[in-house]
Amino acid sequence: MTEDLNQPVPLDASDQAGENQASTKKNQETPGRALFGLDAKALAARMVEMGEPAWRGRQLAEAIYRHGFTKISEITTLAKSLRHKLTDEGWEVGRPEIVQTFQSEDGTERYLIQGGDGLTVETVWMPEGDDEETGDESEPETTDEATRRHQRATLCVSSQVGCAMNCQFCLTAKLGFQRDLTAGEIAGQVVAVLDRHGVEVGRDRVNLVFMGMGEPFLNYDNFMAAVRLLVREVGLSPQRMTVSTSGIVPGIERFAQELAEFRPRLAISLNAPNDALRDDLMPINRKWPIAAVVDAVRRVQLRPHERITFEYVLLGGVTDRIEDAKQVARLLRKTGLSVKVNLITWNPGPGIGYSLPQPEAVEAFRQTLVDAEIPAYVRKSRGRDIYAACGQLKRTVEG
């Protein structure tokens, strides 16, 4: 409701909003030279500035967001003279590039994707999804082979370089916070990977999860600008996108105000059955404890059949006991929200002193939740061998 849909989506959106002071220093040195990250409206405005008709902006948007062009010289829908003019004025498509690929034995791929200043983030492609029920429960299954091809693929997208949250079990935390990604850099990860896999938006259905490096709700403006680009310009559905937050209350409150047509599904990283333990595992809980997060989540108006996902990392002997499961069940039932729980077996990383939960503990935890009428699923760990699994993204090349 507070969205101005006509607002252009500049690469340095966060700076314009006067927030996120640390962001995109490098990009400010070459303001606006990348076309990628600008929406059709903003592209039209540039075209008009150059003495071209406004509809050229729509053409450009289609070329870079729908047809995957990465070089202005190749966009033959534009007159050669216009292509030259753009290049002469220093414009480039500027889509982030996949600079390295790691392939897991389970089909998962992890990419290092590079932005304008040479910093890389990680993006993960999971051909069979990351979950037995990733898909939208309300959507019917189709048997059409062509449609099925990428039906269950899931793309895990980063929102920041590094992360400031310092969750004790997560490897990305070890990097610390480096900078926010721009809207173009967030959406660019998606377009680059869809392109690599020949995904046809509209035919193939792919799930996006904003669960890579970083805390999306601490880079709110750029994150939402990226979602709008992905919905409007790329043609993806927000109902097949999920954003996960560690519990940034002001971010959740803003999210609750978003129009449904641009609002992904919401996941909360709960990870502990009570505030005492959550304070230790996730320092952000000392600022916004569980009750404050739940109160903010209540403001989100869910679509029919939509549930709020609570993610819960099972740390052996720390968060995986039956008593913990009972406490989680009580806590979630008390909220009165429509919820489901995704259980994530902890993925190890160097220098992190936790242990894996026993498989029986994982199953007993899940069953305890289900017995309490809380739908609970165990997320399969994907790409652990290439450090692509949850909490393992660290801009590593050592793999």
Confirm whether 390 is a catalytic residue.
yes
In the complex, the smallest distance separating the C-beta of residue 168 from ligand SAH, rounded to whole angstroms, is 9
Q: Which of 55, 47, 38, 73 is nearest to 226 (CA)?
A: 38
Judged by CB, which is closer to ligand SAH: 169, or 220?
Answer: 169
In the complex, the smallest distance separating the C-beta of residue 106 from ligand SAH, rounded to whole angstroms, is 16
Contact yes or no for 171/214 (Cβ under 8 A): no
In the complex, the smallest distance separating the C-beta of residue 249 from ligand SAH, rounded to whole angstroms, is 14
Judged by CB, which is closer to ligand SAH: 173, or 206?
Answer: 173
Judged by CB, which is closer to ligand SAH: 59, or 245?
Answer: 245
Judged by CB, which is closer to ligand SAH: 205, or 394?
Answer: 394
Judged by CB, which is closer to ligand SAH: 198, or 350?
Answer: 350
Active-site choice (52, 109, 122, 185): 122
Burial of 246 per CB tally in 10 Å (0-12, 13-18, 19+): buried
In the complex, the smallest distance separating the C-beta of residue 211 from ligand SAH, rounded to whole angstroms, is 4
In the complex, the smallest distance separating the C-beta of residue 358 from ligand SAH, rounded to whole angstroms, is 16
Contact yes or no for 214/173 (Cβ under 8 A): no
In sequence order, what are the residues at sequence separation of 6 or more whose Cβ sits closer than 8 angstroms to the Cβ of residue 108?
A: 124, 125, 126, 127, 382, 383, 386, 388
Q: Which of 386, 367, 355 is nearest to 169 (CA)?
A: 355
Confirm whether 156 is a catalytic residue.
no
Phi, psi angle pair for 244, to nearest 5°: -110, 135
Contact yes or no for 376/369 (Cβ under 8 A): yes
Active-site choice (156, 167, 170, 390): 390
Contact yes or no for 391/169 (Cβ under 8 A): yes
Beta strands in the chain (DSSP E): 97-103, 109-114, 120-126, 154-156, 160-162, 177-180, 207-210, 241-245, 265-269, 308-314, 339-345, 376-379
In the complex, the smallest distance separating the C-beta of residue 214 from ligand SAH, rounded to whole angstroms, is 6
Judged by CB, which is closer to ligand SAH: 195, or 279?
Answer: 279
The residue type found at 90 is G
Measure the CA–CA gap between 234 and 377, rounded to whole angstroms: 30
In the complex, the smallest distance separating the C-beta of residue 340 from ligand SAH, rounded to whole angstroms, is 14
**Quick check: helix, strand or coil at residue 168?**
coil
- What DSSP letter does each residue of 87-124 carry, written as one string? HHTT-B----EEEEEEE-TTS-EEEEEE-TTS-EEEEE
What is the signed CA dihedral for 168, 172, 176, 181, rounded to 10 degrees?
-140
Q: Binding residues for ligand SAH, per CB under 6 A?
A: 165, 167, 169-170, 211, 215, 244-246, 269, 271, 311, 313, 344, 346-347, 349, 390-391
Judged by CB, which is closer to ligand SAH: 120, or 342?
Answer: 342
Residue of this chain nearest to ligand SAH (CB atom): 391
- What DSSP letter does each residue of 58-76 carry, written as one string? HHHHIIIIIS----GGG-T
The residues that are catalytic are: 122, 390
